[in-house]
Amino acid sequence: MKGNFPIDKFKGVRTPFYYYDSELLRNTLAAIKEEIGKHEHYHLHYAVKANANPKILKIIKEAGFGADCVSGGEIQACLDAGFPADEIVYAGVGKSDWEINLGLDAEIAYFNVESIAELEVINELAAAKGKTARVSFRINPNVGAHTHANITTGLAENKFGIAMEDMERVIQIAAGLEHVAFVGLHFHIGSQILEMEDFSTLCGRINQLQEKLEAQGIEVKNINVGGGLGIDYQHPVDHPIPDFKDYFDTYSQHLNLRPGQHLHFELGRAVVGQCGNLITRVLYVKQATTKQFAILDAGMTDLIRPALYQAYHEIENLSSDEELAVYDVVGPICESSDVFAKGYKLNRCHRGDLIVLRSAGAYGEIMASKYNCRELPVGYVTEDFAS
Ligand code: LLP
């Protein structure tokens, strides 16, 4: 063992691969359960987009949470993992007909609708089946979040949601359609948010909207505030479990829920981020003119976050206790952006050393690609190395 890693058991296992600490995942789920359980009518639908590995889905399903999906493929993965259909919600700006039909056939909890055009198509498809689709409207609250520009979603300039000023009109249109039933409002302002003020700003905006709707006698059953709670990428070992108390308390302090109203959350990263690790080996150490490269067998095809968002992942050499040396840690892909970190201190590296990139459980394996005709990385959980 080094850290939490059964490195002896990793011998002979083809790298790169994802290693999920299932105990940490279960502890994280238990922490969520404890905190969310303190608030009446709070409910989590895990954001499957963060990680849809069937072993991970199974553990989350066993913990009793629902699922937030953004495609037919995700809905199917959740049904296969045993999530009850009425615990599945479905969002996305561009739902295809087959995906809507899948949701209708399975009788999912509700569709998070993002435009009038989509609402009309859902109504038509539901009519053809003699069904009524439950719909919730994704409202763009025009709230900025302190996070990377590529992962902020709640600004008017983003493609997501229905503008606040159009909200009442859309609800009126829905009321005139026979095969849709309005059940709630949906919001999501971005991801990797660490400042609770961003969430309290969202609460303020929702409070205003609710008052407006109430004045018109419009009842909202569910408020869905999306996900977005960040994790500590800088100190994953010291902070393996996010501060869920602070997060849920922020909502309970700032959001005025009406009696009987339900509050839905769609956390992804905060659930699975810290339990996942990308395990890779050093292929070569290359001394260049001005710097030294540690060339790994994992690349941006296995973990694209550093290349795409300049994201930081802590890196550690699991095979060496030698003195620290400075490396640019890179992958084998034919792209200059295939860099995990520049000027990074690692225990001196040698060919074959096992390296871990931490905090890779969210948006890691699921965003892997086959670019350069590479194989997709396999995902293992602790139990896979038990014997
Ligand atoms: N709900 C909606 C409507 C979303 O768009 C998202 C994430 C979530 C929930 C879950 O957000 P979370 O709790 O995980 O922050 N690939 C990027 C993150 C993209 C997030 C997209 N939407 C990354 O690697 O940082």
Per-residue pLDDT tens for 195-209? 999 999 999 999 999
Using omega within 30 degrees of 0 as the cis cutoff, is the peptide bond preceding 306 cis?
no
Of the two residues 179 and 4, the one the predictor is more confident about is: 179
Of the two residues 150 and 107, the one the predictor is more confident about is: 107
Q: Which ligand 1 atom is the nearest neighbour of the CA of 273? A: 14
Specify the residue with its C-alpha closest to ligand 1, atom 6: 227
Q: Quick check: 359 and 314 in contact, CB under 8 A?
A: yes
Distance 229 CA to ligand 1 centre (A): 9
Distance 291 CA to ligand 1 centre (A): 35
Per DSSP, helices labelled H in 129-162 are none
Distance 63 CA to ligand 1 centre (A): 21
Instruction: Dig out the tokens for 385 from the structure.
Output: 């190395």
With bands split at pLDDT 50, 70 and 90, how would you rate the model's confidence at 377? very high
- Mutate which of 143, 223, 266 for ligand 1 pocket (most atoms within 8 A of beta carbon): 266
Angle between helices 97-106 and 116-128 (to 10 degrees): 50
Q: How many Å separate Cα 386 from the centre of its chain?
A: 28
pLDDT at 148: 66
Distance 41 CA to ligand 1 centre (A): 23
Specify the residue with its C-alpha closest to ligand 1, atom 2: 226
**How many CA atoms are closer than 13 Å to the CA of 343, on its beta-carbon side?**
1
With bands split at pLDDT 50, 70 and 90, how would you rate the model's confidence at 147? low
Distance 181 CA to ligand 1 centre (A): 26
- What whole-number distance in Å separates Cα of residue 31 and Cα of residue 27? 6
Instruction: Dig out the tokens for 19 from the structure.
Output: 């290693």
Q: pTM for the complete prediction?
A: 0.96
Lowest mean pLDDT across 157-161, 210-214, 239-243, 246-250: 157-161
Q: Which ligand 1 atom is the nearest neighbour of the CA of 227? A: 13
pLDDT per residue as tens digits for the range 113-142: 999 999 999 999 999 999 999 999 999 888
- What whole-number distance in Å separates Cα of residue 113 and Cα of residue 139? 9
Q: Which ligand 1 atom is the nearest neighbour of the CA of 91? A: 3
pLDDT at 151: 59
pLDDT at 150: 64
Per DSSP, helices labelled H in 255-381 are 269-272, 305-309
pLDDT at 199: 97
**How many CA atoms are closer than 13 Å to the CA of 205, on its beta-carbon side?**
23
% pLDDT > 90, the chain: 91
CB-based contacts of 387, cutoff 8 Å, min separation 6: none
Distance 227 CA to ligand 1 centre (A): 7
% pLDDT > 70, the chain: 96
Distance 190 CA to ligand 1 centre (A): 7
Per DSSP, helices labelled H in the chain are 22-36, 54-62, 72-80, 97-106, 116-128, 167-175, 196-215, 244-254, 269-272, 305-309
The closest alpha carbon to 361, from 296, 285, 269, belongs to 269
Q: Which ligand 1 atom is the nearest neighbour of the CA of 228? A: 15
pLDDT per residue as tens digits for the range 228-277: 999 999 999 999 999 999 999 999 999 999 999 999 999 999 999 999 99
Q: Which ligand 1 atom is the nearest neighbour of the CA of 364? A: 24
pLDDT at 364: 98
In our burial notation (b when 16+ CB lie closer than 10 A, e otherwise), range 184-204 reads bbbbbbbbbbeebebbebbbe
Q: Is the pLDDT of residue 368 over 90?
A: yes
pLDDT at 160: 76
Q: Is the pLDDT of residue 155 over 70?
A: no
* C-alpha distances in Å from residue 237, one per residue of 26, 91, 97, 327: 16, 33, 44, 22
pLDDT at 152: 61
pLDDT at 373: 98
Distance 110 CA to ligand 1 centre (A): 19
Q: Which ligand 1 atom is the nearest neighbour of the CA of 191? A: 15
pLDDT at 157: 63
With bands split at pLDDT 50, 70 and 90, how would you rate the model's confidence at 145? low
pLDDT per residue as tens digits for the range 48-64: 999 999 999 999 999 99
Q: Which domains does the chain have, with CATH numbers?
A: 7-16+274-385 (2.40.37.10), 22-271 (3.20.20.10)
Distance 62 CA to ligand 1 centre (A): 22
Q: Is the pLDDT of residue 384 over 80?
A: yes
Mean pLDDT across the chain, nearest whole number? 95
pLDDT at 220: 96
Ligand 1: residues whose CB is within 6 Å?
A: 47, 49-50, 68, 91, 151, 153, 188, 191-192, 226-229, 266-270, 305, 309, 362-363
- What whole-number distance in Å separates Cα of residue 176 and Cα of residue 167? 15
